[in-house]
């Protein structure tokens, strides 16, 4: 059955507002998604009815909070088809999850001469932690270049894998260009040389189903706020044998088993990586977001978003002074207009109620490789967007082109 988008939009209270006397057209979903009422209700319910710390008390509220908190972990595990809830680690988001792997796995497993393979498409969060690891361990970073179409050059990638390759860290979807990377192929290439694999799934989880067992990645990371959940909560999935071998990254609080002034022993998975009081409300809110998404037809969502993307690409392609960057497939479309600064365009669009994002999109090496010193304008869709939203964006761009 096709999605009833008008009805689904009613689940998102923020979408009903006006901006500058125009109906809000929210096309900044790659930065963060809006939250359905079910998520807002879950957050309110926790703070109004269950607010207590988890795992640490025998009283009723703590028991209820712990049950809801761990139920959310189970929902995440089922959502990505993780074999065991102990392989789901709560983090503050994708960035912290990557840093956890970088410092707990990378700093302790890599040595001088080992190679870390990244791609030109990566977000800063999947570059800078590995630079820190390389600077400390003597490992070497190598980068998969792009083709003329701003996609990964898989022929070049094949030459970069070698027995020295110890880690591949790759995005599932480019946050800047909407390019879907061939991660199954890349994971297979990494495994052929014995390399560990990490997939940055921040831009993927809200758009289509993820199965970490089918992907056979070693680590998969994502953020709640990119998939209609709260900010400040994220997930690290890891293969159990790797997580068990990795030392704790942060210490204190729940991750402790026993402490004396001469020795400390650490808890079992997943708790050894969850120091201090966690974002309990955030985890419960993410669980509610997963419930909400799971109640929708994910295939219909994917098809609807694809149609929106095609409408946007066709409209932009019809404007002779507009250049689409790359060949976007999911989520985001980046473009530039001749002689128009992206920030000026975004300001004029905002005056018409249209929210987009401009700049380097936390992907400065990518923009440098593409020769885009000023960055791009990026419009990014979610399933609650409509054809009218895309038409409003295109009309706003036309007005801006006339103005400039």
- H/E run at residue 65: helix 60-80
Q: Select from 91, 73, 48 the least CA-distant residue to 279.
A: 91
What is the distance of C-alpha 93 from the center of its chain? 8
Q: Select from 8, 42, 51, 78 the least CA-distant residue to 230.
A: 42
Asked if 33 contacts 382 with a C-beta cutoff of 8 angstroms, the reply is yes
**Gap between the terminal Cα atoms of the chain:** 44
As a whole number of angstroms, the distance between CA 159 and CA 179 comes to 22
Task: Give the angle subtended at the CA of 94 by the CAs of 93 and 97, to the nearest 5°.
Answer: 90
The Cβ of residue 130 has, within 10 Å, a number of other Cβ atoms equal to 23
As a whole number of angstroms, the distance between CA 256 and CA 130 comes to 28
217 is catalytic: no
Q: Which residue in 362, 364, 391, 395 is the catalytic one?
A: 362
As a whole number of angstroms, the distance between CA 348 and CA 126 comes to 32
DSSP string, 334-353: EEEETTB-HHHHHHHHHTTT
Q: And the tokens for 341? A: 């600064």
**What are the residue ranges of helices labelled H in 110-264?**
128-137, 154-160, 183-192, 212-215, 240-245
Active site residues per annotation? 362
């Amino acid at each position: 059955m096709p999605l009833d988008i008008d009805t689904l939009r009613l689940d998102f209270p923020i979408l009903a507002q006006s901006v500058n006397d125009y109906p809000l057209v929210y096309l900044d979903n790659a930065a963060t998604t809006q939250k359905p009422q079910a998520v807002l209700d879950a957050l309110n319910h926790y703070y109004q009815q269950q607010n207590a710390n988890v795992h640490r008390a025998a009283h009723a509220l703590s028991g209820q909070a712990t049950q809801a908190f761990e139920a959310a972990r189970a929902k995440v595990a089922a959502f990505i088809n993780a074999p065991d809830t102990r392989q789901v680690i709560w983090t503050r988001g994708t960035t912290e999850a990557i840093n956890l792997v970088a410092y707990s796995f990378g700093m302790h497993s890599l040595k001088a001469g080992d190679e870390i393979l990244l791609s030109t498409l990566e977000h800063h969060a999947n570059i800078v932690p590995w630079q820190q690891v390389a600077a400390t361990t003597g490992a070497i970073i190598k980068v998969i270049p792009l083709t003329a179409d701003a996609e990964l050059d898989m022929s070049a990638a094949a030459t970069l894998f070698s027995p020295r390759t110890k880690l591949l860290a790759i995005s599932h979807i480019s946050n800047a260009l909407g390019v879907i990377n061939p991660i199954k192929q890349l994971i297979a290439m990494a495994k052929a040389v014995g390399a560990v694999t990490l997939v940055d799934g921040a831009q993927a989880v809200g758009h289509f189903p993820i199965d970490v067992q089918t992907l056979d990645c070693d680590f998969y990371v994502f953020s709640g706020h990119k998939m209609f959940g709260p900010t400040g909560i994220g997930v690290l999935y890891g293969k159990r044998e790797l997580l068990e071998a990795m030392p704790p990254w942060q210490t204190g609080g729940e991750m402790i088993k026993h402490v004396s002034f001469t020795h400390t022993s650490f808890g079992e998975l997943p708790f050894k990586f969850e120091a201090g009081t966690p974002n309990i409300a955030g985890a419960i809110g993410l669980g509610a977001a997963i419930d909400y998404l799971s109640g929708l037809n994910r295939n219909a969502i994917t098809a609807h978003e694809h149609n929106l993307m095609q409408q946007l690409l066709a409209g932009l392609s019809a404007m002779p002074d507009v250049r689409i960057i790359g060949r976007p497939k999911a989520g985001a479309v980046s473009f530039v207009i001749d002689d128009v600064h992206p920030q000026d365009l975004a300001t004029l669009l905002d005056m018409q109620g249209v929210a987009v994002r401009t700049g380097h999109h936390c992907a400065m090496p990518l923009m440098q490789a593409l020769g885009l010193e000023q960055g791009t304008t990026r419009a990014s869709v979610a399933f609650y967007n409509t054809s009218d939203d895309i038409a409003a964006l295109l009309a706003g761009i036309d007005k801006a082109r006339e103005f400039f």
